[in-house]
Amino acid sequence: MVAKRRSRQTGSFEVERTTGSFEVLDRLFVYGTMRQGQTARSLVANSIARSLPATTAGNLFVFPMGYPGYVDGDGRVVGEVLWLTDLAATFGLLDAYEGADFARTLKQVTIDVPDPTTGHVAGETLWTWIYSLADPATVSLGTQIPDGDWVRYWNEHQ
């Protein structure tokens, strides 16, 4: 089981306590409206230093208001890892945008890293921040996205 901790802080103490590392955690896993080509991407666009496709364990639910929410679970969620700059300002903006319905937590994700010699994609696991539903019971108000891919779901239901 992967340990995670709910937090609104980016401080190194919280990261070290959860991940065992003193590194500054500048990565965010996005699974919904902040993914490439989606409506809220503009919130973080100027702060993205790098982006790679990624997945994590969990379940994704869509809500009538037109956005998804993540909870821990046994499914698979498709998204991207964003490496961010200006962390205090970016996370301050995102915490306000996500509001009380979401909590920023630490989570392990798997990024898709192409091997330059073979061209094969191998997974590398790393810690990132993710915005999870603050109250997992909220899923009763939504509909599960079975394959955990918001972009595919949204494009098919537009």
Give the domain CATH number at 81: 3.10.490.10
Structural domains of the chain, count? 1
The answer to whether position 1 is within a domain reads: no
- For residue 58, the enclosing domain spans 12-156
The answer to whether position 126 is within a domain reads: yes
The winner for highest mean pLDDT among 4-8, 117-121, 145-149 is 145-149
Q: How far is CA 56 from CA 2, 10, 13, 114, in A?
A: 11, 20, 24, 18
User: What tokens appear for 116 in the block?
Assistant: 């330059």
Quote the pTM value: 0.83
The answer to whether position 38 is within a domain reads: yes
The answer to whether position 5 is within a domain reads: no
Percent of the chain topping pLDDT 90: 72
Q: What is the pLDDT of residue 137?
A: 95
Residue whose token pair is 């965010």: 28
The answer to whether position 109 is within a domain reads: yes
The answer to whether position 2 is within a domain reads: no
pLDDT > 80? residue 9: no
Distance CA 7, CA 12 (A): 12
The answer to whether position 4 is within a domain reads: no
The answer to whether position 128 is within a domain reads: yes
Q: pLDDT tens digits for 78-131?
A: 999 999 998 889 999 999 999 999 999 999 999 987 666 666 667 889 999 999
Lowest-pLDDT range, 17-26, 110-119, 122-131, 142-151?
A: 17-26
pLDDT band at 20 (very low <50, low <70, confident <90, very high): low
